[in-house]
């Protein structure tokens, strides 16, 4: 399933190309930027921007809720949202880590910020608010892991207490 913002691509999307400082721009570089029409607006090709995977860490917090209720809600969220990797929880906060497919960071963050609220009623989640969000692309996630930085891999997968 592809998700993202409806409508045209954002300004500065994939149809633009940067020209290296080490070489001069040739005609093919300029043609990718777009032609300026008579009205002064750039015409852009209608190429769809590729969707990418983004690693999401969402932190939520709120009033104390019985652990069994929190666990049941997170297990239902994992069932409803198949890309969920792991959830950790306590009586007053939780951390959810998963992969999201989106055009760009803005789309991934917007989808992540809606996740808790949109699934609150259907999954029976506590009335908590989002208090933290980290969104990184797949390459950065793997680079940070290889260098020993960033969040440890989501192991074990599933819903676990802190």
At 156 the pLDDT is: 63
Phi-psi region of 7 (alpha: psi -120 to 50; beta: other; left: phi over 0): left
155: exposed, middle or buried (Cβ count in 10 Å: 0-12, 13-18, 19+): exposed
User: Beta-strand (E) ranges in 14-157?
Assistant: 35-36, 42-43, 52-61, 84-89, 93-102, 129-137
Profile the chain (162 residues) by mean pLDDT over runs of 10 residues. Answer: 50 43 43 45 58 94 96 92 85 94 96 93 94 95 86 67 82
Q: Which residues contact 82 (CB under 8 A, 6 or more apart)?
A: none
At 160 the pLDDT is: 76
């Amino acid at each position: 399933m592809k998700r993202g913002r409806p409508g045209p691509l954002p300004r500065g999307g994939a149809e633009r190309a940067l020209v290296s400082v080490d070489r001069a721009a040739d005609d093919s570089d300029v043609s990718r930027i777009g032609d300026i029409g008579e009205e002064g607006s750039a015409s852009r090709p209608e190429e769809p921007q590729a969707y990418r995977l983004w690693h999401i860490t969402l932190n939520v917090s709120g009033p104390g809720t019985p652990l069994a209720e929190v666990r049941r809600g997170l297990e239902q969220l994992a069932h409803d949202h198949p890309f969920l990797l792991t959830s950790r929880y306590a009586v007053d906060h939780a951390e959810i880590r998963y992969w999201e497919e989106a055009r760009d960071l803005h789309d991934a963050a917007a989808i992540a910020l809606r996740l808790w609220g949109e699934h609150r009623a259907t999954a029976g989640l506590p009335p908590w608010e989002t208090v933290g969000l980290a969104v990184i692309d797949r390459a950065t996630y793997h680079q940070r892991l290889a260098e020993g930085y960033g969040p440890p891999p989501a192991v074990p997968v599933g819903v676990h207490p802190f």
